[in-house]
Chain A
Amino acid sequence: TQTVSQSDAHVTVFEGDSVELRCNYSYGGSIYLSWYIQHHGRGLQFLLKYYSGNPVVQGVNGFKAEFSKSDSSFHLRKASVHWSDSAVYFCAVRTGGYKVVFGSGTRLLVSP
């Protein structure tokens, strides 16, 4: 059984700051990792994914994430956040099976 852990329920930063949203997973086999963003009252928007190859993946709007097998992590980062980045961010795992398993989400608040 795969699990996804997002240790920070809330993260608050100022506009222009860098941010890291943490994601750890538990699964021993091949794994497909992704990040989604959900603005208030809206649907899920895909940010980026990793399956194999370069462990650093670039996503939309300046986001990137780095896969680490040794740490079982897939942390999301952005060098300089904008107020419009305020949203809930979900890390998700998909293994060889059917379903996507989501973490509990991290609410990012960017203060002006």
Chain B
Amino acid sequence: GPKVLQIPSHQIIDMGQMVTLNCDPVSNHLYFYWYKQILGQQMEFLVNFYNGKVMEKSKLFKDQFSVERPDGSYFTLKIQPTALEDSAVYFCASSLGQGNTEVFFGKGTRLTVV
């Protein structure tokens, strides 16, 4: 079936440094999402992106976070600067449409900020 690929699967970064998480969404999908999951806890919505713009973001999407998808390439989540509390698994997702269309999730990138 359709797959969302996330690269890398695990990243370790020093606090204060910048990190970019990459996501290769399903090829014909138009809506893109990032979710954050702290170990053993709930999946929390971060942001939704469509047509080059952020459509909706949560309170977890801090000013240090940004997303983009330049020229249909990877959909990226950038954190600059990183903080210890940013350590979590970040899941990328994509969907063809809104409402009743299925959302496909990647396997996640485990970010460890030290």
Contact = CB atoms under 8 A, between A and B. Distances in A.
Interface string B20-63: 00000000000101010000011111001010000110000000
Interface residue SS majority, chain A:
loop
B22 to A, nearest CB: 15
B42 A104 contact: yes
Q: Interface size bucket, B side?
A: 20 to 34
A69 interface: no
Interface string A77-112: 000000000000010001111111111110000000
A79 to B, nearest CB: 25
A28 interface: no
Contacts of A14: none
B42 A105 contact: yes
Interface residue SS majority, chain B:
strand
Interface string B77-98: 0000000000000010100001
Interface residues of A, number: 24
Nearest to B106: A43
A104 B45 CA distance: 12
A98 B57 CA distance: 11
A100 B99 contact: no
Contacts of A27: none
B42 A100 contact: no
13 contacts: A43-B91, A43-B105, A43-B106, A44-B43, A44-B108, A46-B105, A96-B99, A97-B56, A97-B99, A98-B48, A100-B45, A104-B41, A105-B42
Interface of A: 30, 32, 34, 36, 42-44, 46, 49, 51-52, 90, 94-105
